[in-house]
Structure 1
Amino acid sequence: MKSPYLRIGVDVGGTNTDGVVLDPHRSSEPDRGILAFHKASTTSNPSLGINNTITSMFQSNPDIKASDVASVTIGTTHFINAVVEQDASRLAKVAVLRLCGPFSKGVPPCIDWPASLRELICGHVAFLSGGCEVDGSEIRDIDAKEIERECEVIKQKGIKSIVIAGIFSPVDIVHQQEERAAEIVQKCLPGADIVTSKSVANLGFLERENAAILNASILAFARKTIAAFQSAVKKLRIECPVFITQNDGTILLASAAAKLPIRTFSSGPTNSMRGASFLTQNEVKEAMMVVDIGGTTTDVGLLLKNGFPRQAAAFSEISGVRTNFSYPDVRSIGLGGGSIVKKDSNGKLTIGPESVGYQLPTKAICFGGSIATATDYTILANPEINIGDRSIVSSALSKTDLEDFQSMVKKMLERVIDTMKTSADDIPVLLVGGGAVLAPNELIGASKVVKPRWSGVANAIGAATARVSGIIDTIESTETETATQVMETISQRAIEKAVSNGAKRDTVEIAEMDHIPLQYIANKSRFIVKAVGDFDFERETPLEEGFLDDTQSTNETGREDDMNEFAKKAESGEKSRDQKDEEQQDLVDISSYRPKVEGREWIISETDLAWITTGCYILGTGGGGSPYSHMLRLRQIMREGGVVRVISPQDLKDDDLVACGGGKGSPTVSIEKLPGEEMMQSQNELYKFMGVQPNAVICLEIGGGNGLQGMILGASTNMNIPTVDGDWMGRAYPVAWQTTPVVFEKKPVFLPSTICDGNGNVMFMTEATSELMVERAFRAALSTMGSHVACAKGPISGTNTKNWVVENTISLSWRIGRAVALARQTHQIDGVAEAIIGEVGGHESAKVLFRGKIVGVERTLRMGHVYGEVIIEESGLGKVGRMKIPFKNENIVAVQVEADGSEKIVASVPDLICIIDAQNGEAIGTPEYRYGLLVVVLGIVASEKWTSTPRGLEIGGPKGFGMDDIEYKALGTFQKPKSVIDEYGS
């Protein structure tokens, strides 16, 4: 008896449900083994649509037998829609048990969610003993009694979905804290849905926890929906496994997807690109650009040589919630079959972005309507297209306009393709989607243009041909083995994981791998490996693995009776404070906004904070770490009544004591071990030791996460002192002795100093020969203190602060962030670089050094710092210039590489070399550099505090980074940032 061999793919989209039946053994034949396909409008009941689609395909080809079907794979937007629509009937309340010990309390669960979604889902939060360090050792062991007490509270609240999230749980192989906690919860709350964060996502605590919470909230709905999918298949007498596609182009058994529905979010674009890969497997053996032309938009993405889409970023947002799932990097433009074509006031033809959309059959000229669409012009140009009435189109549209239309379509496609390319070389372009006929057969930048048959159902083909994956994201030691040897071991683990997930061993291959050395942590690196393979259909799959009873929807019982407070408030029209804050911020007219300055004190608002955060990361020049979690903490302090006050350094009294603090350590640790009370503790310990109290606080460096620490410390209840509008760097530097006080004073200026790990360990330095020695001593202690500590530095007098400070850098951050926000609000992001230049002093003080795409990144770890080089290639048709930027945590030098290979240094430290994302204006840190990112390189002249003396250049210039052969040449003339207090004060 012949084994089942046919694969069915169904993609349930918002508009259409597409299906395909294919024989994978015939994939190399001209018809690609496609035995049937179907496209129809999506029904309100997706299960009925799946049934109808498969039934129609069976009827179209009598040779297809249910007994020959080996798998049915379904792609769906059903689960993400529940979140986007904030449907209380499909989202359950969730309790979060965070295993964190003394850490992360300043950044509670769901803190960064939209208020409405947070109040809908987040039902209970508890901070419990537990958590691990980066090396896998325990911060604290879990406490069973503590967990049991929380379970009683959860039971009383009627919550049946629980998330357990532990710090560094993905590297917790020995202690298994999340798993042990889950066992305790299961005993206390039998029948509850329990989600461990490590089963959902990888490193990045807040994002992993967010993903786990969303996953837990839709579990009951997912079970019910997937059971309905399986039921639809079973009614057709198809006895085979049912799979659901994931957002990375691979598949999960339906039973596994019912436990991890979040992994199905936004799988549609990936399905289309994977289908494109299948359709061209014998024609194209290299990376190619996939252009999916639909009814309203054209979506363009790069399909890598490994057959998977290039990913967009390490983080992604789902309905305003940040998660650490990476989605395909897709650029959309307003070009589709329904795009409206018209002439502007100057008689110039325009295409889109407006579209008639689903009304094409009634609105387009070819169907008797009155609106000229892209479809009408395409029919006029292609006699072989038999859609609508050609005679009406011929009389309504002119040949001249047709030529303009074709020229414009060609330019639009060429522009977006060039934007998405990672090199100036021509690349194959694959056209899919129902609107592929709009595109010409030749495009500049395309080595060939391929319009394959079956491209209209590429998404269903992608679902049918999706593979099984195994992903390992871990931190490992390289002390006894080389990174290459460790990578080989991790790769084997990824292969074994893919096999355990159902892949056939002899088909598994490594699709992706990455190695990232960790700063300030000796012999430790992060390894990320993804293995993929075909599903092993010969492996026995129990029927219950492929089918779930429709009644397994335990959490639906009593859902309406358990109506949450959000729903009640929504009915009454009442809004929470957070909702009001968010709405007010969204409605801000940026061009007319005025900050609140009372007397000589600037009172920071949430709007101010958002702009300052953006500006701080840009001034980080690639380093300093993301300010995101620190922004959340400060915002929470403000929402709980804390007042953030900023004063001008010139308003300090001569005998004032100005405190200073910041974080030291690895950014990889900081994305897991969120801040607790260690920063405030370090200050308290220092001033208790000294027996004095500070009058104000200043941040160590304005660049990156430390740029917000001054305001956090100042607004904390123990200090309640103003923050000075300035810092000791005017940017970010990799080490704390690269500060302006060290430029002006050779003896140690920050003694005594202390560091605190937040876990009960405090270290003082009371005497030292230099600030460099203080830095070396503290750095040596870092790894044994958890690789991330809070540092409190001895106070500086008001007199010295006024002499040494880089002035008005909080104001500068605010202005930069406002410029970025305004560019977004007015849809002028292409000019964001020029807007930033305008805020930092104009073209005499800053300039665009380069625009292009990152095409190469190299990293290595030396003395705790990540050294490396990023290579950027000029974007734009026919341009071939390059820029390379060496970095040591922060960017050091910008080197222009001409077409003939000659090199010219165009900027160097202490001037600021900032790389921003060309698509949103946000900063890109050195850990985030990756292939294909579109960027703008900005150069900003450094403060004269660095450039006016030989010692300043020796510490903060190229020599401070060991580049003795490079002589600093200023980009221009420094202009002191304009004070917000001076401009807006009374």
Structure 2
Amino acid sequence: MRTLRIGVDVGGTNTDAVVLDLSLSSTSFRGILAQYKTPTSSPNVTNGIEAAVRTVLEKSKVDKNRIACLTIGTTHFVNAIVEHDCRRLSKVAIIRLSKSFTKEIPPFSDFPPVLKDIMNGYYCFVSGGKSISSRLHIDGSEEAPIVEAEIVEQCSKIKDLGIDAVVISGVFSPIDEHFKQESHVRRIIQRELPDVDIVCSSEVSNIGFLERENASILNASILKFARKTIRGFRTAMKRLNLHCPLYLTQNDGTLIDAPSASRLPIRTFSSGPTNSMRGAAYLGLSDFSQSQQRTSTIVVDIGGTTTDVGVLLPSGFPRQASAYVEVAGVKVNFSMPHIESVGLGGGSIVRIDGESVTVGPDSVGHRLTSKAKVFGGDVLTATDIAAVTGENVGNPNLAADLTRSVVEETQLKIETLLERVVDRMKTSPEPLPLLLVGGGSIIAPRHLKGVSEVIQPAFHAVANAVGAAISQVGGTIDMIQSTAEQTVAQIIETAKDMAIERSVAAGADRNTVEVVDVDTMPLQYVANKVRVIARAVGQFSPEIFSIESWTTDSDDGEEDVYAEEVAKGPQYPPTHLNRENNVDSYKPNVVINPQTGNPEWFLSETDIEWLADGCYVLGCAGGGSPFAEYIRLRDIIRAGHNIRIIDSSALQDEDLIYWGGHMGSPAVSNERLSANETYEAMLELMEYYRHESFDAIMSLEIGGGNGLQPLLVGSSNFFNRPTVDADWMGRAYPTYWQTSICVYETGQLVPCALASGDGKAMLMTKTTNDEIVDRALRASCTEMGSRVGMAAKPTSKEKVLKYSILNSMSLAWRIGRCIARAKEHNTSCTIAEQIVDEVGGPETAKVLFRGKIIGVERRLWKGHSYGEISIQQVREEEQESKIAGFKMMAVAEGGILKIPFKNENIYAKHILDDGTDEYVAMVPDLIAVLDTQSGKAIGVPEYRYGVLVTVLGIACSPRWSDTPKGLEIGGPAAMGFPEVVYKPLGRYVEPRSVVLEYAPREQS
């Protein structure tokens, strides 16, 4: 009976190994028959693995025929990317399946220059052929066929370039269950280029086109090295005479077999922290396998330099990070555990300055046994403090000169550091158990605030290897479904069943499989659509595999060729660096137009970045991320085109001003990126009006991605017209009729035009009221792909001055400058105060609340997406805003702040511990949730548990608040909450015009 497992974890300093008998898991030694820790040999980590495994086999004296599998967790692959190691990374060719979209933001657009130079081999865009769609609507229906001849032509170019790694990237490919477009293209490439590596993006990650493609590129670039490394693992197994399957551990704590890991090495990138957390739970929790009986558990892994803290859910698996994470500066969207790290470890250097003591973040690291005082060195470390307080390490007499006050102060610093990071990870005030593992865990106190008990289990030093050994087999399903003909409950059950089947197909014992995660997310701006993600796991079942399948491998004959190379090839210089002046000295480029005599602001990359950050704040969590528009605008400037903004005073009475923006679902925007829908809608409207041109362009809404749309359309790349420093909302709203022009005049939305960006367009010429315009257009938008561009009835200078929110572009820029300044001066913790000062002071804006998100709910209500976040105040010492004389009292203190959202935040309700409550802000005033650590806005898609946030309120324009019609259109009732009575937050101050402030002054 094969009941034994060997687990190995390859860390930067040590390689750990254990032999584990799961049938003895209930014993006091938890079934661990042998353990071993050895230094990780560099560059050849395989030697370290082989030495560790050989040692535990000799120690345990087990029959090798009883070994069910060898499981390895390694950071080997991700390190090659982090280190920009061009010897281990390959050039990649990308084939995008996109007839009409994604071209404006090509592959590698958001890659760090170094990695782009290393990996960018070639990219192209193709449409399709035959019965496979080149793009998919959100409901999965076919739009355009693939043209096989195009694929063949691109294969010829790739062959000529000598590139042997190809990524196929199709819009909405993860939900392409029917047409399987990427698979079809792969078969064509395999026929034409039989020797290249091919990665289909749908097999790597989920919804989110650019992030999925990025992950696929990283995966493709590392493939050759991954195969070579895994071949080395197999070679070591042969030398050890092990005849069992080889598995690697994945980021989510489940197994991936060696052949699959050779195809998808990216799934192992963050397996180290996961192994540590899973191993800690197995060693320290007696009810580890009984998820229904447990609460969440904090895991603290202390090494020599850093401490990693994560949360194990009741399922026994780590809480995952937010939708998007970064690997070596590349934004990706595959599953990774949510880990907080601090510079605290056994080797942390302790410094004494008078009565003040600091601990870390620098460390002696792997030199601890030669540098620390208790080992005869001359550096005071955290381990020395542990030794003199009773821990059995080194010779405490060598540190006997330490005073009691220094020891106590150091212990207090360590305790405070750990309590802070633990509290950041918690999502409720209830005390949670804490598992303490890692070689440096001796420095930690055994009592911490907010912790019910500190558990340091036996074998804690090799918890990561234990986590690798106990890994299970998983299956995940991610799909978007309609609720029109089935309930959400039915969709969830279907997803669960599919996840279970995938787990079984991957090698899990069906009798042990259980669903551990289910998440449902109604899609924004799309009625009756819900995204469901389900994950099932079960115990590995060696019985379903034959011995022959374990030992057969196409690389078996190559063990003599295998040899690991020295890492780190030449470093490439960045190709694009924004070397403009620093934040404090930077001045926008405003020049006088010689023809009109008016000042015009010519935007730079810096301006675009600040505008994007400011627009997201003004989006009040909605409006969609401006990231795609930012990338396009940046590239337009780099291509030599001009983007201009003018003050409203520069408009002439007879000027014709076009305006519009995007309508639709952010989920679609995330897949189709930033195309030319708004530009094409304006062309349609110009044709209807028989306008040859127009004089200026203006934004529908300043909040979110739409705030940047007029800059794209008005650039010299398109119409070459200036953008007016104004918009019709002063924020973001979910519908087109919630515009300030509709407050004062009816019928200003039509005639209007819609364009889908792929050849479909329509006009609406008449209406009986403004609200029906949005409803009609939104229904059409759904039929046209759930994302369109809209151009509304052209307006005039008179209406802009009377009805719009003036200088909103300037406001966004100033807010973005605050964020940049805070980053440059390391004052992000007070970004809210800086924004308050910038927009008009405490009478105009207020810090509403400081805390941590402890709850996120999303639901369908009346066919639309609604949700709510709960924010709990953090302790005083956790409120990082401590700059003397600059901290602003929050409007609400203590208790919980609840913020419901319908794409945008609707109100902020403060609930005290005694149950009393008060509305502290509501629409049409602006409610923005800022990431306390970065100072940047958090949108609805980024809301997640545990994020430290600062809630900011900004008074709205009197266009909304000073008339009953304004509150009717833009107040709480319009957002579905008629019971909430509007109470003004403060006094509005019109933003200062950047154009006028920085315009050249006449020489006297």
TM-score range, shorter chain: over 0.9
Give the drift of 1:95: 1.2
Q: Which amino acid aligns with 1:734?
A: P
Give the drift of 1:18: 1.2
1:563 is matched with none
1:94 is matched with 92
Structure 1 stretch displaced more, 541-550 or 518-527: 541-550
Of 387, 393, 397, which residue of structure 2 is paired with 1:386? Answer: 393
The answer to whether the aligner puts 1:217 opposite 2:217 as a matched pair is no
Give the drift of 1:944: 1.9
Q: Which amino acid aligns with 2:300?
A: V
Give the drift of 1:726: 1.9
Structure 1 residues 877, 27: CA separation in 2 closer, same or farther (over 3 Å shift)?
farther
Of 322, 333, 337, which residue of structure 1 is paired with 2:331? Answer: 322
2:366 is matched with 358
Residues 522 and 860 of structure 2 are in contact (CA less than 8 Å); yes or no, is this contact kept in structure 1?
Answer: yes
Of 56, 76, 79, which residue of structure 2 is paired with 1:78? Answer: 76
Structure 1 residues 979, 257: CA separation in 2 closer, same or farther (over 3 Å shift)?
same
Q: Write out per-residue CA displacement over residues 613-668 of structure 1, whole angstroms, 9 at most, x where no aligned residue.
A: 11111111111111111211222222222211111112211221111121111111
The answer to whether the aligner puts 1:979 opposite 2:979 as a matched pair is no
Structure 1 residues 952, 553: CA separation in 2 closer, same or farther (over 3 Å shift)?
farther
Q: Write out per-residue CA displacement over residues 132-159 of structure 1, whole angstroms, 9 at most, x where no aligned residue.
A: 1111111211111111111111111111
In structure 1, stretches of 5+ residues that fail to align are 561-565
Q: In structure 2, how many angstroms separate the alpha carbons of the residues matched to 1:179 and 1:99?
A: 12
Q: In structure 2, how many angstroms separate the alpha carbons of the residues matched to 1:947 and 1:450?
A: 56
The answer to whether the aligner puts 1:20 opposite 2:18 as a matched pair is yes
1:259 is matched with 263
Give the drift of 1:839: 2.1
Identity, % of aligned positions = 48
Q: In structure 2, how many angstroms separate the alpha carbons of the residues matched to 1:941 and 1:386?
A: 60
Matches within 5 A, 1:168-567: 168-282=172-286, 285-344=294-353, 347-382=355-390, 384-387=391-394, 389-394=395-400, 396-541=401-546, 543=548, 545=550, 548-550=553-555
Q: In structure 2, how many angstroms separate the alpha carbons of the residues matched to 1:192 and 1:164?
A: 12
Of 593, 597, 614, which residue of structure 1 is paired with 2:586? Answer: 593
1:538 is paired with a residue whose SS is helix
The answer to whether the aligner puts 1:897 opposite 2:911 as a matched pair is yes
Residues 427 and 855 of structure 2 are in contact (CA less than 8 Å); yes or no, is this contact kept in structure 1?
Answer: no
1:671 is paired with a residue whose SS is helix
2:232 is paired with a residue whose SS is helix
Give the drift of 1:549: 5.0
Q: In structure 1, how many angstroms separate the alpha carbons of the residues matched to 2:4 and 2:359?
A: 42
2:910 is paired with a residue whose SS is strand
Residues 519 and 864 of structure 1 are in contact (CA less than 8 Å); yes or no, is this contact kept in structure 2?
Answer: no
Q: TM-score, normalised by structure 1?
A: 0.95
Q: In structure 1, how many angstroms separate the alpha carbons of the residues matched to 2:923 and 2:19?
A: 60
Give the drift of 1:928: 3.0
1:622 is matched with 621
Give the drift of 1:959: 2.8
Structure 1 residues 400, 931: CA separation in 2 closer, same or farther (over 3 Å shift)?
closer
1:720 is matched with 720
1:824 is matched with 823
Residues 753 and 790 of structure 2 are in contact (CA less than 8 Å); yes or no, is this contact kept in structure 1?
Answer: yes
Residues 750 and 796 of structure 1 are in contact (CA less than 8 Å); yes or no, is this contact kept in structure 2?
Answer: no
Q: In structure 2, how many angstroms separate the alpha carbons of the residues matched to 1:676 and 1:202?
A: 21
The answer to whether the aligner puts 1:866 opposite 2:872 as a matched pair is no
Q: Write out per-residue CA displacement over residues 232-288 of structure 1, whole angstroms, 9 at most, x where no aligned residue.
A: 112100110010111111110011100101111121111111111111230673211
Give the drift of 1:397: 0.8
Q: Which amino acid aligns with 2:707?
A: G
Residues 11 and 460 of structure 1 are in contact (CA less than 8 Å); yes or no, is this contact kept in structure 2?
Answer: yes
Q: In structure 2, how many angstroms separate the alpha carbons of the residues matched to 1:539 and 1:374?
A: 50
Residues 625 and 667 of structure 1 are in contact (CA less than 8 Å); yes or no, is this contact kept in structure 2?
Answer: yes
In structure 2, stretches of 5+ residues that fail to align are 128-133, 289-293, 593-598, 878-892
1:907 is matched with 921
Q: Which amino acid aligns with 2:945?
A: Y
Q: In structure 1, how many angstroms separate the alpha carbons of the residues matched to 2:930 and 2:863?
A: 25
Q: In structure 2, how many angstroms separate the alpha carbons of the residues matched to 1:183 and 1:273?
A: 40
Of 103, 106, 119, which residue of structure 2 is paired with 1:105? Answer: 103
Q: In structure 1, how many angstroms separate the alpha carbons of the residues matched to 2:386 and 2:855?
A: 40
2:887 is matched with none
Structure 1 residues 825, 502: CA separation in 2 closer, same or farther (over 3 Å shift)?
farther
Give the drift of 1:321: 1.2
Residues 699 and 728 of structure 1 are in contact (CA less than 8 Å); yes or no, is this contact kept in structure 2?
Answer: yes
Q: Which amino acid aligns with 1:315?
A: Y
Give the drift of 1:589: 2.3
Q: In structure 2, how many angstroms separate the alpha carbons of the residues matched to 1:645 and 1:749?
A: 26
RMSD, aligned CA = 2.2
1:43 is matched with 41
Q: In structure 1, how many angstroms separate the alpha carbons of the residues matched to 2:834 and 2:370?
A: 44
Q: TM-score, normalised by structure 2?
A: 0.93
1:784 is matched with 783
Aligned residue pairs: how many? Answer: 962
Q: Which amino acid aligns with 1:451?
A: Q
Q: Which amino acid aligns with 1:774?
A: V
Structure 1 residues 761, 463: CA separation in 2 closer, same or farther (over 3 Å shift)?
same
Q: Which amino acid aligns with 1:840?
A: V
The answer to whether the aligner puts 1:694 opposite 2:701 as a matched pair is no
Residues 51 and 236 of structure 1 are in contact (CA less than 8 Å); yes or no, is this contact kept in structure 2?
Answer: yes
Of 947, 966, 981, which residue of structure 1 is paired with 2:980? Answer: 966
Structure 1 residues 948, 701: CA separation in 2 closer, same or farther (over 3 Å shift)?
same
Give the drift of 1:716: 4.9
1:97 is paired with a residue whose SS is strand
Residues 602 and 642 of structure 2 are in contact (CA less than 8 Å); yes or no, is this contact kept in structure 1?
Answer: yes
Of 912, 916, 920, which residue of structure 1 is paired with 2:930? Answer: 916
Q: Which amino acid aligns with 1:920?
A: S
Q: In structure 2, how many angstroms separate the alpha carbons of the residues matched to 1:296 and 1:889?
A: 42
Structure 1 stretch displaced more, 892-901 or 114-123: 114-123
Q: In structure 1, how many angstroms separate the alpha carbons of the residues matched to 2:650 and 2:547?
A: 75
Q: In structure 2, how many angstroms separate the alpha carbons of the residues matched to 1:543 and 1:584?
A: 60
Residues 165 and 198 of structure 2 are in contact (CA less than 8 Å); yes or no, is this contact kept in structure 1?
Answer: yes
Q: Which amino acid aligns with 2:40?
A: T
Structure 1 stretch displaced more, 687-696 or 508-517: 687-696
Residues 340 and 374 of structure 1 are in contact (CA less than 8 Å); yes or no, is this contact kept in structure 2?
Answer: yes
Give the drift of 1:909: 0.6
Structure 1 residues 56, 453: CA separation in 2 closer, same or farther (over 3 Å shift)?
same
Q: In structure 2, how many angstroms separate the alpha carbons of the residues matched to 1:326 and 1:919?
A: 22
Residues 655 and 799 of structure 1 are in contact (CA less than 8 Å); yes or no, is this contact kept in structure 2?
Answer: no
1:125 is paired with a residue whose SS is strand
Q: In structure 1, how many angstroms separate the alpha carbons of the residues matched to 2:255 and 2:5?
A: 13
Q: In structure 1, how many angstroms separate the alpha carbons of the residues matched to 2:250 and 2:477?
A: 16
2:882 is matched with none
1:672 is paired with a residue whose SS is helix
Q: Which amino acid aligns with 2:921?
A: A
Q: In structure 2, how many angstroms separate the alpha carbons of the residues matched to 1:737 and 1:386?
A: 70
Of 954, 972, 975, which residue of structure 2 is paired with 1:940? Answer: 954
The answer to whether the aligner puts 1:886 opposite 2:900 as a matched pair is yes
Q: In structure 2, how many angstroms separate the alpha carbons of the residues matched to 1:38 and 1:143?
A: 57
2:35 is paired with a residue whose SS is strand
Q: Which amino acid aligns with 1:582?
A: L
